[in-house]
Amino acid sequence: MRRSEHRAASRAATSGPAERRSRPRVHPRALRRAPQLAPERHCGSGDDDGRSPPGGPDSLTGGLFRPSRSELPKPGAGQASPSRILIVEDEWFIAMESDAILRESGYTVVGMAMTADDAVELVGRERPDLVLMDIRLRGERDGIDAAIEIRERFGVACLFATAHSEAALRERGSAAAPAGWITKPFSEQQLLTAVQNALQARQ
């Protein structure tokens, strides 16, 4: 055997498990982009207020369902530019899932906030067309407080997202004149339908 062939045979014999261990891991989002492989998952399926359980990401259940693109509502045809949306959500996984769904469907996500004060500041700076607003946020103020201030100061409507549907909560939220409500956990299609309806309502 020639020396070059011997070296090639040696590399082939020793590159199996070690080489596989050295390869970079594929981010889970790359796997989720294949519709035929995606399991049924729902956004906001942690504990009953939409946050992940104390055990962290490994203790999350459920997920987010991704139907085929032909089944999903699209942003309005003939728009001069994509609608701009701000996401206000204190649970990182839900915020990232919502961001991916909206971007992949043609919307522009102008930013993400986890507190009421940050949400107000971002709306003032970015002037989105719609705010996807979680009601329970970090800090002393909740999403309803933020939505009321955003409506009064900037005239921007919020689409409320919540795992709670008590009449008292909705009555208090009505002061913000919301563009709609969406209940957690919600599917990808439910989110896009709610956003589309909220944008149409403001026109």
- On whether residue 8 sits in a domain, the answer given is no
Is 116 a member of any domain?
yes
Residue 40 lies in a domain: no
Give tens-digit pLDDT for 27-75: 343 334 333 333 344 565 544 444 443 334 333 323 333 444 444 455 5
Residue 150 corresponds to which amino acid? I
Measured CA distances, 18 to 12, 22, 23, 136 (Å): 11, 6, 9, 47
Residue-number span of the structural domain to which 66 is assigned: 57-202
- Which pTM value belongs to this model? 0.65
Q: Is residue 195, in this structure, part of any structural domain at all?
A: yes
Q: Is residue 16 part of a domain?
A: no
**Distance (Å, whole) CA 11 – CA 158:** 59
Q: Is residue 159 a part of any domain in this protein?
A: yes
Domain CATH number, residue 154: 3.40.50.2300
Count up the domains in the chain and report the number: 1
Peptide bond into 82 cis (omega under 30): no
Determine, yes or no, domain membership for 121. yes
Does residue 106 fall inside a structural domain?
A: yes
* Tens digits of residue pLDDT in 111-163: 999 999 999 999 999 999 999 999 999 999 999 999 999 999 999 999 999 98
d(CA 86, CA 118): 11
Strand partners, 63: none
Size (the chain), residues: 203
Residue type at 70 in one-letter notation: S
